[in-house]
């Protein structure tokens, strides 16, 4: 069986062809907001929750999110969608307000927005690039939690699942690592504040994940041999750090996120679950 190839051109061991195991009705009666859900992990999570009877609100800054939601409805799921710039508090507040307007409440918030824009040694980052990385991968979680929390407190219940990364211990993306370290800190600290209100706050820390080519790019593609080499160092470390010596799949990431979001994880809060083939980050 042949391996797969990433954008950087390296081959690695294939992921197992295991179909996702859906749990009928697991999210029945629950309103679930999934950010960054136009594509990638967020889309996989939204599709799975809809298949498990959840009322899903897909949020993304790309207009593509409306097509994704429409395809979920065609498949028999219940889904609404909203575009918002979650790097601002106004955008996060508007997205949460749209979810409440659509379904009357918000039971689960899954914060999935983020992603490396550049891959290079830290001394090569321009100051404005560092700021952009932090804006992209920390503030959407910070603002979305702030927007959703008062609604959950009023309800006396709620679940927040943040998506961090094992790249907090990784090469060539220090600003991204700092942002995702902040997501882990939000999870730990907010769990303390949320618990008296019946609110759980948890996170996953994905490792390298195979996905189709992005329809909307996060940032510029590597330009030239040096930038490709820096990106390749990330890929090599990702595979080497995984005990399973491979990338994960979208389905494997979605399975962990949906478990933590579900009532099955009702006694778990303040925890970060690495989903990286044994890499603890």
Q: Coil, strand or helix: which one is 125?
A: coil
Residue of 103, 176, 231, 247 marked active site: 176
Query: 174: buried, middle or exposed (CB in 10 Å: 19+, 13-18, 0-12)?
Result: middle
Q: Which domains does the chain have, with CATH numbers?
A: 24-275 (3.40.50.720)
User: What percent of the chain is helix, strand and coil (3-state, nearest 5)?
Assistant: 45, 15, 40
Give pTM, 2 decimals: 0.92
Beta strands 78-83 and 108-111 are unpaired
Polymer length of the chain: 281
Give the model's pLDDT for residue 18. 54
Give the model's pLDDT for residue 4. 38
Cα separation of the two ends of the chain: 29
- State yes or no: is 267 an active-site residue: no
Contact in structure between 28 and 49 (CB atoms under 8 Å):
no
> What backbone phi and psi angles, to 5 degrees, belong to 123?
-65, -10
Give the C-alpha separation, 40 to 209, whole Å.
Answer: 9
Give the model's pLDDT for residue 36. 98
pLDDT (tens, 9 = 90+) of the chain, 281 residues, equals 333 334 443 445 555 555 567 898 999 999 999 999 999 999 999 999 999 999 999 999 999 999 999 999 999 999 999 999 999 999 999 999 999 999 999 999 999 999 999 999 999 999 999 999 999 999 999 999 999 999 999 999 999 999 999 999 999 999 999 999 999 999 999 999 999 999 999 999 999 999 998 888 878 888 889 999 999 999 999 999 999 999 999 999 999 999 999 999 999 999 999 999 999 99
Give the model's pLDDT for residue 260. 98
């Amino acid at each position: 069986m042949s391996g797969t190839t990433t954008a950087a051109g390296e081959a690695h061991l294939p992921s197992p062809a295991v179909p996702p195991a859906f749990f009928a009705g697991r999210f029945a009666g629950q309103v679930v907001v999934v950010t960054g859900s136009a594509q990638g992990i967020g889309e996989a999570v939204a599709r799975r929750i809809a298949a498990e009877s959840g009322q899903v609100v897909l949020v993304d800054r790309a207009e593509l999110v409306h097509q994704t939601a429409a395809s979920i409805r065609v498949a028999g799921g219940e889904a609404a969608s909203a575009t918002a710039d979650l790097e601002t508090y106004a955008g996060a507040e508007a997205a949460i307000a749209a979810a409440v307007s659509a379904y009357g409440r918000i039971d689960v918030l899954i914060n999935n927005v983020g992603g490396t824009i550049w891959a290079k040694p830290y001394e090569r980052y321009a100051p404005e690039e560092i700021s952009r990385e932090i804006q992209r991968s920390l503030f959407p979680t910070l603002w979305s939690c702030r927007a959703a929390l008062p609604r959950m407190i009023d309800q006396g219940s709620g679940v927040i699942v943040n998506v961090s990364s094992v790249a907090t211990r990784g090469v060539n993306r220090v600003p991204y690592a700092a942002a995702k370290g902040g997501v882990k800190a939000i999870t730990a600290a907010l769990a303390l504040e949320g618990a008296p209100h019946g609110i759980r706050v948890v996170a996953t820390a994905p490792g390298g994940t195979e996905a189709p080519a992005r329809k909307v790019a996060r940032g510029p593609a590597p330009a030239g041999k040096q930038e490709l080499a820096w990106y390749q160092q990330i890929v090599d470390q990702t595979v080497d750090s995984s005990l399973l010596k491979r990338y994960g799949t979208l389905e494997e990431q979605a399975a962990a996120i949906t478990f933590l979001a579900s009532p099955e994880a009702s006694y778990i809060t303040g925890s970060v679950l690495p989903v990286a083939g044994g890499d603890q980050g």
